Structure 1
Amino acid sequence: MVIRRDNGEEVDYPDSQTLLESGDRLLLVGEPAELAALDELARGERTLPGVGSSCQWLTIPLESPVIGQTLATLDIRRQFDTQVQAIRRQGQFIRFPAGDVDLQAGDRLLLCGSYKALSHVEQLVASPLPQLSIPLLPEATIPDMLLNRLTTEPSPAATLTTEVNGCSLNNGSPR
C-alpha cells in the first residue's frame, strides 16, 4: 500500500498509526478477492468492528484441535462474539467464509471481535490436543507370585491331568 498526499508526499507501507487525510490517493496491491472485499467495505456494504473491537490474523498450528472442524461446528461467532471475516489458505483468499468450511493446519483466519474474545479464540485454536499419560508401575509393586508366574515355566504340580473315557490327558494332550 502507498499513500500519495495532495502535497506530493508519499507514504510507503503506512503503519497502523498513519491517518488518511482528505485528498489522499491510495495504491493497493492484493489478490482480486481481497480488493473486492476492500471495495465492499469502501461502499459501505461491509462494516468494521465497533469501538473496543479489533481484527487480527491467527494462524492454525499443526497440532490445533480445531483442524478438520467446520466453522459452523465451532460456532465462534456465538460462543466468542467473534466473526471470521476471511481465511487465507495456500495463497487463496476466502472472504466471509460459509459455515461448512473446514479448518486446516496453516489456515490464517481474519478474526474480528473484542480483545478478550480474540484471546479466547486464540486459546481454542492454539491449544494442543491433550496427551494421554499412563503411569507405569515399578516392578517392585507387582506381587511376587504374579511376577513369578509370568517369568517361570509351569511347575509339575500345576500340570492338569484329566481322564476322559479311560484315557489320561496331561494339560489337554493324551499321554
Structure 2
Amino acid sequence: MQPDFKRLIRICDSVNRTITRIPHKAATLAVNFSKERFRKKNWLDTSEHPWKKTKKRKGSTLIKSGRLKRSIRQIHVGADYAIIGTDVPYARTHNDGGTFTGVETVRTHSVKAHKRKAYIRAGKRVKAGTVRAHIVKSHKRRFKRTFAQRKFIGQSQHLTNQLTGMIQSEIQKAIRV
C-alpha cells in the first residue's frame, strides 16, 4: 500500500496555516475575556471573585465614560505569543488596587455665593448659612486615596483553559482536512 503524500502535505500546510493564525485568535479571546469582566463585574480565575461595590457613584462599576473598557486591545502579536493591554494611565491603579499618597496643586478659582446646610466637622457643629462669593488662592494639599482591587486583565486559569481548548480544536480542524 502506497502512502498518500499529497494528503500528508495538505495536512501539514493546513496545520502550518492554523499555527500562524492561533496567536491572533488567542489575543481576540483574551481581549473579549477582559471586556467581559466589565459586564460580569468579577474576576474569574479558578473561582469567581466579584468586584467590591462602589458606595458613591450610581451606574456600572469602573464605567463612567467607557474609555478604560474600550482601551483594552492587542498590543503586539508575534509568531508564538500575544500581548493585550491598555494605554489608560489609571488602568493599573484599578486593576491592582492599593493606597496612593501625594501632593496635588489646587488652582486659583472663584466660589459663587450659595447656601450651606448644617453639618458636623471634627466634633463641632457648623450652622447652616449663606456663603458669600470669594476667590480661593492657589495652594497645595496632600491626599491619600484608596482604590479597591477590581481585576479585569491578567493571568487567569479560566482564560488559560479557554485558550487551550481553542488551540486543540483549531489543530483538530486542521488535521481533518
TM-score (norm 1): 0.18
Which has the bigger relative contact order, CA under 8 A and spacing at least 6? 2
Which of the two has greater helix per residue? 2
Give the structure with higher Rg (CA). 1
TM-score (norm 2): 0.18
